[in-house]
Structure 1
Amino acid sequence: MVYVLLSVVCSVTVSVILKLARRHHVDTRQIIVWNYPVTVLGSWAVLRPDFSDVVITEAPVGIYLSLAVLLPGIFVLLSASIRHTGIVRTEVAQRLSLFISLLAAFWLFREAPDTGKLIGVAVGFVGILCSIGWHRGSNQYGLNHRVWLYPLSVFFGYGLVDILLKIIAQHTGTPYTVSLFVIFCLAMLVAFGYLIVILQGKGRFSMHAVYWGLVLGAFNLGNFLFYMMAHRALPENPSTVFTGMNVGVIALGALVGLVFFQEKLSRINKIGVLLAVVSVFIIAYS
């Protein structure tokens, strides 16, 4: 469980970095861009992708390109959601995005529907609606101006990413490690293209953003690697890893958001966070 704990800490730290960067007036868009070189180099060192038997014409190039655009774009939405609605709501939305891929498994991938998991999804959706604060006048973040669309976009965006990654995992023509590395490389190219657009507009190049981005990339990569190591360390208990990761991020994110950043939640928001945790347990052990 040490790897699960480390993965949880890295995941929440990513949100904290984006939150603090905003407070220090560092452009979070540029930070996200500079996170990708670390991701690419780290994934190359750890995944060790073998291109020897790869046939480009058989690879799902369309899905690669879709993910290359989606990943940086959703990262920007994640940053915006943290800025406008806080860490607590954003972490709940990101973690419960697993419901999208779970429903896709039933209806798109023809897996047999499981009553327990469907109940968990239903509880989770209620948790999402309660926690993101779509109702008016709930707290300090001005959610009456519809900025709740940010966490909702994070929810659906990461759910779509999960679905596309599952399609790639089922693709037998290309090794999954190769696919992940190619996606990270393409995402980095898209991110640098986005940086060029920023600099040609009103944005100014920030060396501070480079430093922040490299740190962000280290924790983002750590989240991914420790989660993989947790599954390898507990191969017979995937539900334990799944539960520990999702509940851990929601709980630690709530603690950090409420205690260190004084984020204010209404009673219904707190009920939503609790329902999110309950739904993860239902899904994991049903």
Structure 2
Amino acid sequence: MIYLVLSVVFSTSLFVIFKYFNIYKVNTLQAIVVNYLVAFTLGMFSANAFSELATINLQPWFYGAVSLGLLFVSIFFVMAMTAQYNGVSVASIAGKMSVVVPIVFGIILYNESVTVLKVIGILVALIAVYLSSIKEKKSTTKAGLLFPVLLFLGSGVIDTTLKYVETNFVTIDGVDFFSGSLFGFAAFFGIVILIVKQLISREKIEKKSIIAGVILGIPNYYSIVFLIKALQNKNFESSTLFTVNNVGIVIASTLVGLLLFKENFSLKNKIGVVLAILGIILVTIA
């Protein structure tokens, strides 16, 4: 349970950091690339595996790490496009609602239990995520559903792939090496994209973006490590864990927005937080 709590805490801190990115006008792409490099370095140090880098292609999880690294970068850009064309609230809802994807795959692939209480709890949790994220202000943008759908599916595929690779290929003592490696691949793909963008737009590398990337990389790394460690707990089914994790992040993010950034919450948002707590209780009991 402690790993799940830590995963929620570190994941929530990412939203806080991204909020400050906007306040201080940080170049997000540059910071993201640096963040992946920091996370990669942390993973290698934690696993004491710099001497084993040449063996990455021999690891059973190699292709999974490459795929996840590419997905991390790709879905980040989809998230940016969703926020740009559909609005931040839509991007938030699409990303968090993706919890339904690993839940469904957990039931199909791993024959996880399906009880009335669990189904009710999951449905309540999904409604809670939506109500907690939705904003009263109506958007005048008439963007299509392409980017939100891609974000929904992509975020769900990341969680599902992470669970599959962890279950079948990652040993308990190999979490740090695996986590560091997938961040390394994310950094590689991010650098390629950054180089291409530099050649096109000639953007200057900003010192504050490098600092911001270092600050982001530490909690980003541990959010993944603790999620993987939580997934290795056989007392939690993945459908239950992903529901509790995502809804926990919604609750924590809501409280942070209220207390730290003095954000205003509508009646729907408040109802969503209450339902989120109810959903966690139902799923945990089930």
What range describes the TM-score normalised by the shorter chain of this pair? Answer: 0.7 to 0.9
The question of whether the paired residues in 2 share the 8 Å contact of 1:28 and 1:79 is answered with no
- Where does the alignment leave 5 or more consecutive residues of structure 1 unmatched? none
Aligned length: 276
- Please say which of residues 112-121 and 183-192 is displaced more in the overlay: 112-121
SS at match of 1:170: helix
Q: Could you list the per-position Cα deviations for residues 27-85 of structure 1 after superposition, in whole angstroms to 9, with x for gaps in the alignment?
A: 11211111011111111122345969x79578465543321211123334556778843
1:182 shift after superposition: 2.9
Aligned to 1:125: 126
Aligned position for 2:105: 104
- Aligned equivalents of 2:143, 2:3: Cα separation in 1: 37
Aligned to 1:85: 88
Report the CA distance shift for 1:143/1:132 in structure 2 as closer, same or farther (over 3 A).
farther
1:18 paired residue number: 18
> Structure 1 residues 117 and 257, CA, compared in 2 at 3 Å: closer, same or farther?
same
Q: Residues 250 and 277 of structure 1 are in contact (CA less than 8 Å); yes or no, is this contact kept in structure 2? A: no
What is the distance in 1 between the residues matched to 2:249 and 2:155?
Answer: 15
- AA at the equivalent of 2:157: L
Q: Which amino acid aligns with 1:165?
A: L
**What residue is the counterpart of 1:139 in the other structure?**
137
Listed as ranges, the matches of 1:188-227 within 5 Å are 188-202=187-201, 203-225=203-225
- Taking structure 1 as reference, are residues 280 and 89 closer, same or farther at Cα in structure 2, changes over 3 Å only? farther
Unaligned runs of 5+ in 2: none
Corresponding position of 1:183: 182
CA–CA distance in structure 2, aligned partners of residues 211 and 168 of structure 1: 32
Q: Is the Cα contact below 8 Å between 2:121 and 2:282 reproduced in 1? A: yes
Whichever residue aligns with residue 183 of structure 1, its letter is L
Percent of counterpart pairs with the same letter?
Answer: 26
- Structure 2 CA distance for aligned equivalents of residues 221 and 251 of structure 1: 21
SS at match of 2:168: coil
Change (3 A) 1:31 1:251: same
CA distance in 1, matches of 2:168, 2:234: 24
The 1:10–1:22 alpha-carbon spacing in structure 2 relative to 1, beyond 3 Å, is same
Provide, for residues 238-279 of structure 1, a one-character-per-residue CA deviation record: whole Å limited to 9, x for no partner. 599988755543222112223433444433333334333322
The structure-2 alpha-carbon separation of the partners of 1:117 and 1:3, relative to structure 1 and needing over 3 Å to count, comes to closer
1:196-215 alpha-carbon deviations (Å, 9 max, x no partner):
12222334322211110001
The answer to whether the 8 A contact 1:18-1:79 is kept is: no
- Decide whether the 8 Å contact of 2:78 with 2:147 is kept in 1: yes
Summarize the alignment of residues 26-175 of structure 1 with structure 2, pairs less than 5 Å apart: 26-48=26-48, 56=57, 59=60, 62-77=63-78, 84-85=87-88, 90=92, 94=95, 97-133=98-134, 138-139=136-137, 142=139, 145=142, 154-172=151-169, 175=171
